[in-house]
Amino acid sequence: MTSAPLPSQPGRLSAIAVYVFYLLSIPSFAIFALVGVIVAIAARDGAGPLARSHLDYQVRIWFTAFWWSIGIAILCLIGWLLTIVLIGFPILLLVWIAAICIFIWFTVVSFFGLLALLDGRPR
């Protein structure tokens, strides 16, 4: 059974591009994620309802990952300062695990968001 292609909606191509940027953000050290959130913010105004829900969702997940990354960076700095008294090494291990979790979460959420957009489901 074949399904009819989704009609062209304003902002849909931008939302797809942002998801692709997000998926390419880990190999680019988050440069593409920054480009993606800028595209998402710029494309929200003229987008249709489906694309607008995805673009809002993309901005929300970027800011969530951004603030978690800031917290992890602060914890990393504290860990490096505390390596003098050896308590910093377990903190740095915790930082490494948290950073990997954020990277994995961001990638998985972006992938499932792209699948939902391609399927025509809002976020």
Q: What pLDDT score does 28 carry?
A: 87
Using one digit for the tens of pLDDT, what is the confidence trace for 49-62?
999 999 999 999 99
Say if residue 8's pLDDT is above 90: no
Q: Which residues form the domain of 30?
A: 12-119
Instruction: Tell me if 68 is assigned to some domain.
Output: yes
Instruction: Tell me if 3 is assigned to some domain.
Output: no
Instruction: Tell me if 7 is assigned to some domain.
Output: no
Average pLDDT estimate for 78-101: 95
The structural domain count of the chain equals 1
| Cα–Cα distance for residue pair 97/103, rounded to 1 Å | 10
Average pLDDT estimate for 94-100: 96
| Cα–Cα distance for residue pair 27/103, rounded to 1 Å | 11
Q: What pLDDT score does 5 carry?
A: 53
Average pLDDT estimate for 94-113: 96
Instruction: Tell me if 27 is assigned to some domain.
Output: yes
Pick the residue with more confidence: 17 or 26? 17
